[in-house]
């Protein structure tokens, strides 16, 4: 029935409830893939190519197979023909995808390319056996620099895939640039900006345990994954078996950040091999493998320009770029890269915009998703705005203030057709400026310069699509059940991957049913019991899970109220739910507990007088909000030692609008984590390759990560403009990693401005900064 009076009042949403999972994880009681043990379990290890490109003339596994405890050595000839279908839902089955064989076939494409799979009694034995597999290679010329790969054979460079003779996976162009506007503008600013390759480096590397039960034709998979249901569907498609015969279990996931959204080639190998071994098969990636083979991120090179009138108003913006997609991008990279061009106008009043791009193969690992895969648009736009401010003779704050969009301008369509609404980028911007004390900093900066110290200030503003409701991402499921004890279980598809959906879903469920927080538990990550959902990706978990919980909660609440009304001899409209009790609104002393209601439903259904005893509801939320637009402004201050090039970050401020916050602790944790990753990408991290395609940063000795020493305390500001979805919630997962790199680089460049140099090739390492300064001197 339709309720004329709400049956519950929100109690937990919006509060800083401590994370449920913390005690388990901090005391070492989490369950990660490597914690999974199965009877007689075998272990897998990959033989990987030492060459960036080479012909495979033959593979001799005899010496490895002679080692006691080695069960099998699988090659492409064994596994690849078993593939039935290998498409990912994020792209769809009808997209003409790029090649992706499980094992290298005929030719290896990068250092670390999986060539064979060894199965043994232990990981130690498997690793020993890997060294005994004799692979006969003929090394071939490789192209590791994607900027030199375009043109392929015609340009005299190696071809990565024969089906793409020019090494171009694809591309797209929007409207052509309005060159007349650029020719007649009062100010035109152009920069060539290169963003290096860097990667998510989750604390837990990739891993999987696969167990095939031949007697029943069932496959059980324990995985470190962001998308349990998509992994289940992919496994069924890959093997050509019914989906109901596949069960995926995801317990704790030690970080993912996009790297674990879709199954990759090694996952395909494990799934294929599991049916050919006598017991469960485990593979845990080591750190060197992760850095060499799990994929690459960012790595874009482009030219950006903007035209301004005499007052500093933006007239036009143009971006022309090339993105490295490596050898085996996962998933199809061409359409997702379009987001860089589409979002380039950002949170600004841009009348005209144009973009053009190419995605290019190289003999390096394949491109994969990483927190805000389109982040290059924000990096380049925000760097360009600071460059423009310096050239126009205006403070970057004033230039942004002139152009940034206000709430009273919504809805607003950017010139590429992106429909901004329910946001006010000017609000987060002004809040960040206020927290900073802009005038105070500028005075401090001037005083420091007189003393020979170089301080800098960098801003970065962006607008981000979260919870985009397209394709399979448009729905999310939830099941709620009141157990015979009166306690509540809520089932959702995602696992514990660091985004704390484990806590926020309990908050939302408790509010939806009027239950006490401690009376609600969640079951996640097991496809056998959880309803279908698209998982953790695209900053969607908050708004989509909230919608699913709301719909399932509404259905279950109606049943609880109906049973309670029968027990209390009142109309449904007179019942309200709170504190895990149902009570009469006008006489709160007249009440029954959830335990009483559950007892009546499960054990005394005959006394319900024909009312359904069902205390379970499943809903699949279908979002009608195409995009929830979040936005933020990042502010960074720093000091640069111009003798050593060392950068010290002194303050970091984030003002963000993700709508009402389900749990501010969780939101701030997400922002802080992403910000730290972006700081690493701006100053330290570089998955570098030499000209021959050899990785030169395959351990943490060479691949440098930010620590607490490099990341200053983050100061938070919040603007809460509700979106159009349930609760007004927007996504929060990717923003920190989007906004932080340009804020840091802009701060560095602001500090270096008195010396007349600026960083446009990332990362801004001490050596790079010193080279810029010394180059200017000469």
User: Read out DSSP for 270-319?
Assistant: HHHHGGGSSS-EEEE--HHHHHHHS-B-EEEEEEEEEEE-TTS-EEEEEE
pLDDT at 473: 84
- Tell me, yes or no, whether 420 and 491 share the same domain: no
Number of domains in the chain: 3
The pLDDT tens digits for 468-504 are 777 778 889 999 999 999 999 999 988 778 889 999 9
**8 Å CB contact between 26 and 264:** no
- Tell me, yes or no, whether 375 and 286 share the same domain: no
- Domain span holding position 496: 22-30+479-622
- The domain that holds 276 is classified in CATH as 3.90.1170.50
Q: How long a stretch of residues is the chain?
A: 778
The pLDDT tens digits for 131-171 are 999 999 999 999 999 999 999 989 999 999 999 999 999 99
pLDDT at 6: 59
163-177, 538-552, 724-738, 745-759: which has the highest mean pLDDT? 745-759
Cα(258)–Cα(504) distance, rounded to whole angstroms?
Answer: 20
Cα(94)–Cα(233) distance, rounded to whole angstroms?
Answer: 16
In a domain, 9, yes or no: no
Coil, helix or strand for 116?
A: strand
pLDDT at 185: 98
- Tell me, yes or no, whether 128 and 220 share the same domain: yes
- What is the average pLDDT across 423-435? 98
In a domain, 184, yes or no: no
The pLDDT tens digits for 608-650 are 999 999 999 999 998 877 789 999 999 999 999 999 999 999 9
In a domain, 112, yes or no: yes
pLDDT at 469: 72
- Tell me, yes or no, whether 542 and 421 share the same domain: no
- Tell me, yes or no, whether 615 and 632 share the same domain: no
The pair of structure tokens assigned to 703 is 């691949």
The pLDDT tens digits for 213-236 are 999 999 999 999 999 999 999 999
Describe the chain by its helix, strand, coil percentages, rounded to 5: 35, 25, 40
- Name the domain boundary from 622, 638, 659: 622
Percent of the chain with pLDDT over 90: 91
CA 216-221-225 angle, 5° bins: 155
- Tell me, yes or no, whether 484 and 456 share the same domain: no
Distance of CA 263 to the CA centre of its chain: 15
- Tell me, yes or no, whether 449 and 587 share the same domain: no
- Tell me, yes or no, whether 704 and 771 share the same domain: yes
- Tell me, yes or no, whether 63 and 209 share the same domain: yes
pLDDT confidence band for 689 (50 / 70 / 90)? very high
- Tell me, yes or no, whether 118 and 219 share the same domain: yes
- The domain that holds 413 is classified in CATH as 3.30.365.10
**8 Å CB contact between 295 and 367:** yes
In a domain, 664, yes or no: yes
The pLDDT tens digits for 397-411 are 999 999 999 999 999
Beta strands 352-361 and 314-326, pairing class = parallel
In a domain, 314, yes or no: no
Lowest mean pLDDT among 1-5, 620-624, 715-719: 1-5
Task: Indicate the burial class of 618 (C-beta count within 10 angstroms; 0-12, 13-18, 19 or more).
Answer: middle
- What is the average pLDDT across 24-33? 94
CA 721-727-728 angle, 5° bins: 25
**8 Å CB contact between 21 and 502:** yes
| φ, ψ of residue 609 in degrees (nearest 5) | 60, 40
- Tell me, yes or no, whether 435 and 498 share the same domain: no
pLDDT at 351: 97
pLDDT at 3: 44
In a domain, 444, yes or no: yes
CA 187-192-193 angle, 5° bins: 120
- From first CA to last CA, the distance across the chain in angstroms is 80
pLDDT at 2: 42
In a domain, 488, yes or no: yes
Element at 74 (helix H, strand E): strand 70-75
Cα(423)–Cα(673) distance, rounded to whole angstroms?
Answer: 23
Cα(610)–Cα(613) distance, rounded to whole angstroms?
Answer: 9
- Name the domain boundary from 606, 622, 638: 622
pLDDT confidence band for 37 (50 / 70 / 90)? very high
- Tell me, yes or no, whether 46 and 126 share the same domain: yes
């Amino acid at each position: 029935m339709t309720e004329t009076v709400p049956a519950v009042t929100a109690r937990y949403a919006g509060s800083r409830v401590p994370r449920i999972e913390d005690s388990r994880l901090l005391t070492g009681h989490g369950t990660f893939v490597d914690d999974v043990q199965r009877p007689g379990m075998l272990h897998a290890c990959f033989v990987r190519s030492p060459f960036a490109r080479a012909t495979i003339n033959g593979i001799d596994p005899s010496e490895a197979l002679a080692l006691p405890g080695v069960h099998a050595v699988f090659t492409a000839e064994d596994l690849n023909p078993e593939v039935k279908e290998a498409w990912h839902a994020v792209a769809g089955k009808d997209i003409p995808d790029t090649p992706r064989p499980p094992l290298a076939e005929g030719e290896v494409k990068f250092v670390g390319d999986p060539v064979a799979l060894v199965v043994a009694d232990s990981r130690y034995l498997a690793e020993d056996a890997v060294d005994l597999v004799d692979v006969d290679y003929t090394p071939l010329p490789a192209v590791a620099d994607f900027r030199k790969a375009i043109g392929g054979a015609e340009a005299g460079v190696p071809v990565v895939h024969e089906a793409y003779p020019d090494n171009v996976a694809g591309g797209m162009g929007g409207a052509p640039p309005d060159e007349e506007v650029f020719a007649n503008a009062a100010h035109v600013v152009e920069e060539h900006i290169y963003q290096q390759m860097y990667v998510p480096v989750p604390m837990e590397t990739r891993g999987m345990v696969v167990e095939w039960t031949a007697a029943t034709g069932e496959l059980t998979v324990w995985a470190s994954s962001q998308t349990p249901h998509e992994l289940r569907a992919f496994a069924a498609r890959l093997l050509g078996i019914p989906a109901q015969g596949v069960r995926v279990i995801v317990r704790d996931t030690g970080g993912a950040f996009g790297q674990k959204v879709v199954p990759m080639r090694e996952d395909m190998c494990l799934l294929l091999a599991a049916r050919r071994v006598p017991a469960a098969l485990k593979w845990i990636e080591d750190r060197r493998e992760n850095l060499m083979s799990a994929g690459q991120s960012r790595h874009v090179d482009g030219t950006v320009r903007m035209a301004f009138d005499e007052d500093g108003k933006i007239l036009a913006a143009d971006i022309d770029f090339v993105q490295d997609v490596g050898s085996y991008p996962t998933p199809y990279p061409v359409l997702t890269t379009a987001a860089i061009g589409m979002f380039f106008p950002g949170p600004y009043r841009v009348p005209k915009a144009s973009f053009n791009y190419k995605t290019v193969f190289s003999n390096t690992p394949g491109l994969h998703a990483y927190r805000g895969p389109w982040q290059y648009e924000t990096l380049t736009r925000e760097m360009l705005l600071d460059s423009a401010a310096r050239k126009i003779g205006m403070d970057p704050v004033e230039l942004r203030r002139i152009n940034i969009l206000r709430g009273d301008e919504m809805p607003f369509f950017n010139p590429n057709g992106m429909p901004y609404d329910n946001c006010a980028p000017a609000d987060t911007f002004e809040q960040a400026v206020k927290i900073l004390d802009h005038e105070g900093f500028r005075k401090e900066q001037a005083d420091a310069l007189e003393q020979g110290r170089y301080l800098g200030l960098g801003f970065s503003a962006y607008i981000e699509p979260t919870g985009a409701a397209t394709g399979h991402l448009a729905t999310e499921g939830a099941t709620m059940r009141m157990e015979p004890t009166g306690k509540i279980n809520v089932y959702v598809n995602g696992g514990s991957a660091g985004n704390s959906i484990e806590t926020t879903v309990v908050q939302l469920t408790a509010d939806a049913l009027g239950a006490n927080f401690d009376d609600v538990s969640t079951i996640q990550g097991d496809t056998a019991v959880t309803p279908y959902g698209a998982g953790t990706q695209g900053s969607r978990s908050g708004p989509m899970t909230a919608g699913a919980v709301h719909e399932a909660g509404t259905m279950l609440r109606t049943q609880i109220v109906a049973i309670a009304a029968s027990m209390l001899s009142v109309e449904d409209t007179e019942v309200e739910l709170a504190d895990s009790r149902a009570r009469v609104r006008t006489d709160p002393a007249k009440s029954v507990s959830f335990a009483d209601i559950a007892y009546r439903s499960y054990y005394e259904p005959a006394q319900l007088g024909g009312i359904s005893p069902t205390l379970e509801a499943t809903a699949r939320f279908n979002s009608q909000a195409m995009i929830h637009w979040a936005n933020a402004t990042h502010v960074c201050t720093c000091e640069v030692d111009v003798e050593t090039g060392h950068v010290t970050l002194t303050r970091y401020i984030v003002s963000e609008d993700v709508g009402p916050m389900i749990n501010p602790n969780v939101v701030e944790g997400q922002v802080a984590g992403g910000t730290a990753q972006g700081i690493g990408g701006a100053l330290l991290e570089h998955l570098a390759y030499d000209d021959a395609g050899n990785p030169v940063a395959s351990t943490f000795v060479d691949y440098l990560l930010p620590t607490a020493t490099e990341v200053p305390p983050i100061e938070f500001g919040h603007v809460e403009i509700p979106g159009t979805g349930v609760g007004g919630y927007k996504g929060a997962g990717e923003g920190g990693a989007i906004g932080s790199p340009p804020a840091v680089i802009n701060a560095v460049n602001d500090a270096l401005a008195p010396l007349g140099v600026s960083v446009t090739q990332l990362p801004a390492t001490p050596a790079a900064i010193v080279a810029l300064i010394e180059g200017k001197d000469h």
